[in-house]
Amino acid sequence: MRQALHSPWFHPDDERAPAEPAYAVPLRVDRSEAPRYRLFNVGHERLVGVTLSLLGSGAMPSVAPRALDVGAAIEVVIRGDDLARRTVLVVRWFRPSGDEYLWRVSF
């Protein structure tokens, strides 16, 4: 008989267990008009404090933190040589619960 494995950080009977076992990234990237990229909120809730940051050698105009309603998009122009190897976009947002998330986007 196989014994179930449990994480030392989480027990299934713990009242503090998260309500959701996983949270799918609610964003999709449209790369079809590069260097103009669009990030769409395809989730089921409004995202607030959405910010974009670049790591690496690419360049983009500054984008102020903003809210992103369901179905809405943020558009940004990102330029650089060999973005796929030299640059990563980091998207940061908050859910209505106040939980913070970060997502790394490759080109």
Helix (H) or strand (E) holding 84: helix 83-86
| Mean model confidence pLDDT for the chain | 88
Q: How far is the C-alpha of 40 from the C-alpha of 30, rounded, in Å? A: 8
pLDDT in tens, 78-101: 999 999 999 999 999 999 999 999
Quote the pLDDT of residue 21: 76
pTM across the whole model:
0.79
Question: Which residues are 29's β-sheet partners?
Answer: 39
**What is each CA distance from 78 to 5, 20, 53, 81, in whole angstroms?**
45, 34, 11, 10
Q: How many other β-carbons are positioned within 10 Å of the β-carbon of residue 59?
A: 12
Q: Is the pLDDT of residue 10 over 60?
A: no
Q: Is the pLDDT of residue 7 over 80?
A: no
Q: Is the pLDDT of residue 20 over 80?
A: no
